Amino acid sequence: MPDIVIYSTAMCPYCVRAKMLLQRKGMQWDEKRIDLDHGLMSEMLHRSKRRTVPQIFIDDIHVGGYDDMAALEAAGKLDPMLGLMPPGMVGMPGNARRTLDASDDSPT
């Protein structure tokens, strides 16, 4: 499971949406509340170069805010970042993957 960090505040609807999306995917995260610890605001600014919340990092990769993460989800790019395989995909040796179809269930 990847290391996920979310910089957030208590009264942030986009923070709630980001956490709900990650929760639906079974992810856990480290929430850093910049409204409770102002030193975290400086940390967030240094890491993201942004002042708005949420700021989301997956394995030290800056994803951006909720809208950025939702765009990755819509493009099918979030699950690979989270280490999740799409439904119907089977892990194969050498990191190759294939899709299951009806012919896979037929006897040979």
pLDDT band at 94; cut points 50, 70, 90: very low
Q: What is the spatial distance between Cα 46 and Cα 23, in angstroms, rounded to a whole number?
A: 27
Tens digit of pLDDT for each residue in 22-65?
Answer: 999 999 999 999 999 999 999 999 999 999 999 999 999 999 99
DSSP string, 43-55: HHHHHHS--SS-E
Does 93 score more than 50 pLDDT? no
Q: Domain spanning 4-105 has what CATH number?
A: 3.40.30.10
Q: Quick one: pLDDT at residue 1?
A: 87
Q: What is the spatial distance between Cα 60 and Cα 98, in angstroms, rounded to a whole number?
A: 29
What stretches of the chain show up as alpha helix (H) in DSSP? 13-24, 38-48, 66-74, 78-82
Does 73 score more than 50 pLDDT? yes
